[in-house]
Structure 1
Amino acid sequence: MKKKHAYYDIIIIGGGPAGLTAAIYTGRAKLKTLVLEKSFIGGSASSSSEIINYPGFPSGITGLALTKLFHEQAKLLGAEFKLTAAKKVNFSTQNDYTVDTFRTIYHAKSIIITAGGIPCLTNAKNEEKFLFDKGISFCATCDAAACENKTILVVGSGNAA
């Protein structure tokens, strides 16, 4: 199968909050922008049932609602979105970087990588029953207030723990 070629000023790999924010800025700058996301727009922030520490939402907002607003704003500013995985990135040619996907090779003058992170699970028995706001937290800043006056267990080491 011969792949198509498409050309952009900026390609953003990752459609979570960082990628969506980058798309808002590049769209506002009138740059032809493509966001590549392999799974779903909004990233892991979309699964948060309440975000209370984001400016402008004093009563809080769900992660899904907030990232949906980011997505809408980026689209209004001209960013394009493709739900496909970046299989290979080539930075060897100056001003013509490429991102290889299943069907298309995308070309860009610049590439921004906002791949995000995936929380590490312990694979403890029944762990899956407590994910996604049911007891297991991956963000101390986000969830500390909900843990006040509770007994907690920290798993990990270093700054992450």
Structure 2
Amino acid sequence: MAKTTELTHRLCTLIYFVIMAYCLLNAMYTVIIGGTTFYLFASFLLVLQLIFALRTSLNSRIYTSLGLVLLIVGLLYNHGLDFLSHLKAIILIPALMLTLFGLDSIYKHPTRLMLLKIGLVLGLLLLAYSQYYELVELQNYYNSLHNGETWQQFGAL
């Protein structure tokens, strides 16, 4: 049983890092072609939260919670008090899941831990989809300018 849980833990960790690598690359590409930098900032914070959430020390739990607070402050700065009605508020789902990893009561119940891992994967997939959606919107905006150039030539490319 110990080998099975260790294998699922490693598999989940690999899935987390693959999705976060996609989110980071997508956010960097969006910034390069002239999009918003919020997703890049948020992806860096989520990667740091993910690294600290996988550790079990008390300091890492504090840093994981600090990541959620920084994301809320960033959303407040960008969108004001109606930040929860914006598409970028999806970033709070994986941040909240990573913050919940710091609770001791989660590790005592393996079913709760597995549900939290599934929720984190789903939250990261939602984040990746919302980043992809905003990238498509940016491409469509550049396509609507109709000056004979492709959308890539409007950014830094």
More strand by share: 1
State the TM-score, normalized to the length of structure 2.
0.30
More helix per residue: 1 or 2?
2
